[in-house]
Structure 1
Amino acid sequence: MLSVFLKLHLSVFIAGFTGLFGRLVSLDAFWIVFFRMLLGGVVLAAFLIVFRKLRWLGFKGTISCMIAGAILCTHLILFYLAIKLSNVSIGVVCVSTIGFFVALIEPFIVKTKFSFTDVVYSLLAILGVLVIFGFDSRYRLGIAVGIACAVFSAIYSIYNKRIALKYDNYSLISWQLLGGTIFMAMLLPFYYLIEGQWSLHFSFSDAFYLLLAGVICTAGLYYLQLQVLQTLSAFTVMLSYNLEPVYSIILAMILFDEASELNTSFYVGILVIIISVALKTTKSIHVANRVRNIGN
């Protein structure tokens, strides 16, 4: 059991590291996501084929997974664009507002009961971002893009939860990465029309970090997550992933000295977001305990 928790927190740490590629790689957000999806998809598919874990999910299932991959790509492009326009800390804090959009969107898509409490708690996270937005004008465009990123992240989370109940998780992730890569390839002509050039100039460090992003922080990360979910509950994993933005911010402050780029409004805003996460976590634990007691 100890090894499972070590894998869990290793996966959380790796997830926290992914935002750093927005500053470590000189390429723009589009190319970071393109190579991350391509390399991650190839490595994971090859691994699953060798160990005979890759399954055909039928036409409908495969298309559903590929659509999820396209939504995931859109989220990631906006995520890295937000970081490029601001910094890692701002980017990951904006994504922390995902809870608000999940609480708002999920009842309409999944037809679940609307939770007024979830919306109120999540509004605290929005308030935290607004504090940062209102008092620090340097990163307003990055914050706006980060909020859009959170919207797509919420859509992906809801959509993925629906299809994850129907299909083998290893195959699901692999087909998602393939679908994301195909989606990115379809965007290439539009990228050229917008940019007027390919803007694809590698340095050795870019190649190294993209390889790391694809192999370790995509294929390796998803594989670790799936292994952990075989032993631990999705609830335990979800709570642990609340640490992801904390890891990202700490690493960004160590590697890029981002503390010098942030003012008091950032720390006030992130405190409000932490309170929001703590309240939602407390509620989730209470609900889980109540369900467990009913089961007993």
Structure 2
Amino acid sequence: MPKLTAPNTELNKNLLILHFTVFIWGFTGILGKLITITAVSLVWYRVLIAFCTLFLYFKFNKQALKVNRKTFLKLFFTGALVGGHWILFFQAIKVSTVSVTLVCLSSLTLFTAVFEPLIKRKPISKLEIFSGLLIITGIVLIFKFESQYTLGIFLGLLCAAAASLFSIINSNEVKSHHPAIIAFYELIGAFFWITLFMLLTNGMADLHIPKANDIGYLVILGTICTSLAYVAGVSVMRELSAFKVALITNLEPVYGIIMAFMFFGDLHTMSLGFWIGAAIILSTIFLFPVVQKQASRIKNRRAGTPA
């Protein structure tokens, strides 16, 4: 049996971190149900707590926050995509349903399969496109898809496209900057753009001091589920492509449904459709690297290069 090499060890470590991160993201649905304030106010507090947490982290560790102007502007404007993604996500839920929004969000894999090669100037992978379509099929089976919510579908697709773009940008930035630095400046950008959005839409009128229970849930959401998870999600991109991260991120609704069942006893969500859809998603996620490796070997064999 071959020994596990250092690169494989690092890869497995990053995959484990990513799965744990996605599991934490799945928990945000539980917190979203428990928090009683409006969706946009929730996002505003979430981002505020998250970047304050990261600021304290830098101060405690005496780590430098300084970046050059070009990097700051790039991360600050990428924060607009991050903030836009969260607003679009909650707005899509508001005008449609959670089911419709999560079905549309599953197109993240497909968007990344198209955007990543275009941005990084490499050929589009048919395997990645096919995998993206399989993921969408799995999510559709899990949720009762209601096609009459046209606006919700449109906002959900925009939400997925925004997530795909900032993930690809982060996969480039993490090669030259610390993940916590990337997260900090992107969250500052997100906070600025979300605040601007609230000012333009009179959303600040809905902003008020949360109840005691809400504060506790918001602290968990802002620290563990946002600042910690965001940094971890960016850090794994040193080893994993944006597409692989997007692929595994599709486990979020699966984890979310299982946790909703555990916390709220939503037995109806654990239907036959759930198990079939979850099986398709899990199979696609875990078989993708195997099929990709096999396809690479066949390609190398045809080209006459060693595998």
TM class, shorter-length: 0.7 to 0.9
Q: CA deviation at 1:284?
A: 4.7
Please point out which of 201, 206, 211 is paired with 1:203.
Answer: 211
Q: CA deviation at 1:40?
A: 0.5
Matched position secondary structure for 1:20:
helix
Please point out which of 240, 248, 251 is paired with 1:234.
Answer: 240
Contact 1:68 1:176 (8 Å CA) reproduced = yes
Please point out which of 25, 28, 31 is paired with 1:21.
Answer: 31
Contact 1:133 1:143 (8 Å CA) reproduced = no
The alpha-carbon distance between structure 1 residues 224 and 132, as it changes in their structure 2 partners (threshold 3 A), is closer
Matched position secondary structure for 1:53:
coil
Contact 2:248 2:285 (8 Å CA) reproduced = no
2:228 paired with 1:220: yes
Partner of 2:21 in structure 1? 11
Please point out which of 96, 104, 109 is paired with 2:114.
Answer: 104
The alpha-carbon distance between structure 1 residues 30 and 45, as it changes in their structure 2 partners (threshold 3 A), is same
Matched position secondary structure for 1:26:
coil
**Counterpart Cα distance in 1 of 2:25 and 2:134:** 24
Contact 1:128 1:269 (8 Å CA) reproduced = yes
- Larger mean Cα displacement after TM superposition, 124-133 or 246-255: 124-133
The alpha-carbon distance between structure 1 residues 224 and 120, as it changes in their structure 2 partners (threshold 3 A), is closer
The alpha-carbon distance between structure 1 residues 199 and 97, as it changes in their structure 2 partners (threshold 3 A), is same
Matching residue's letter, 2:39: A
The alpha-carbon distance between structure 1 residues 172 and 54, as it changes in their structure 2 partners (threshold 3 A), is farther
Please point out which of 119, 126, 132 is paired with 2:129.
Answer: 119
Partner of 1:245 in structure 2? 253
**Counterpart Cα distance in 2 of 1:68 and 1:164:** 13
State the TM-score, normalized to the length of structure 2: 0.75
Please point out which of 60, 71, 90 is paired with 1:50.
Answer: 60
Q: Deviations over 1:191-236 (max 9, x none)?
A: 20xx69426473332222111111221223235557x749x9437x
Q: CA deviation at 1:64?
A: 0.7
Contact 1:127 1:269 (8 Å CA) reproduced = yes
The alpha-carbon distance between structure 1 residues 242 and 24, as it changes in their structure 2 partners (threshold 3 A), is same
Partner of 1:255 in structure 2? 263
2:160 paired with 1:154: no
Q: CA deviation at 1:68?
A: 1.6
Please point out which of 286, 290, 294 is paired with 1:282.
Answer: 290
- Larger mean Cα displacement after TM superposition, 70-79 or 162-171: 162-171
Q: CA deviation at 1:12?
A: 3.7
RMSD between superposed Cα atoms in Å: 4.0
**Counterpart Cα distance in 2 of 1:257 and 1:151:** 32
**Counterpart Cα distance in 1 of 2:105 and 2:167:** 12
How many residue pairs match? The answer is 291
**Counterpart Cα distance in 1 of 2:50 and 2:72:** 18
Gaps of 5+ in 1: none
Matching residue's letter, 2:97: S
- Larger mean Cα displacement after TM superposition, 115-124 or 32-41: 115-124
Partner of 1:177 in structure 2? 187
**Counterpart Cα distance in 1 of 2:148 and 2:266:** 14
The alpha-carbon distance between structure 1 residues 133 and 246, as it changes in their structure 2 partners (threshold 3 A), is closer
Gaps of 5+ in 2: 1-8, 299-304
State the TM-score, normalized to the length of structure 1: 0.78
The alpha-carbon distance between structure 1 residues 114 and 10, as it changes in their structure 2 partners (threshold 3 A), is closer
Matched position secondary structure for 2:201:
helix
Matched position secondary structure for 2:263:
helix
Contact 1:54 1:171 (8 Å CA) reproduced = no
